[in-house]
Amino acid sequence: MYAVWACRDGLDEGLEELERAHLRALALSRAEPEALARRASDEYGWPAGFLARYFEKLRYHFGPRERQGLLRFFELAHLAGELDVVPELRFVDVERVA
């Protein structure tokens, strides 16, 4: 399972700030996992222990293997007629943004 945030072409303004905010939120959630679980429990009603274990299992890496899997998904969706074309994957340069 992947979580993706995306924007259409031409909306580059503010994209780097959004990526920096995302990276700060990720760092904070990893630094204070118990606090994150408690806040999420208060917000959504799930037990904090359950949420802590759930958050612990999430993967935040999207490397070559994951990219290959997403491209394969797009290829299959194209073959099934769900996509007109296989979209190009483009990413924010995290090293440049961080």
pLDDT in tens, the chain (98 residues): 556 666 666 666 777 788 888 888 888 888 888 999 999 999 999 999 999 998 888 877 778 898 899 899 999 999 999 999 999 887 766 555 44
d(CA 2, CA 71): 12
d(CA 74, CA 81): 10
d(CA 95, CA 28): 18
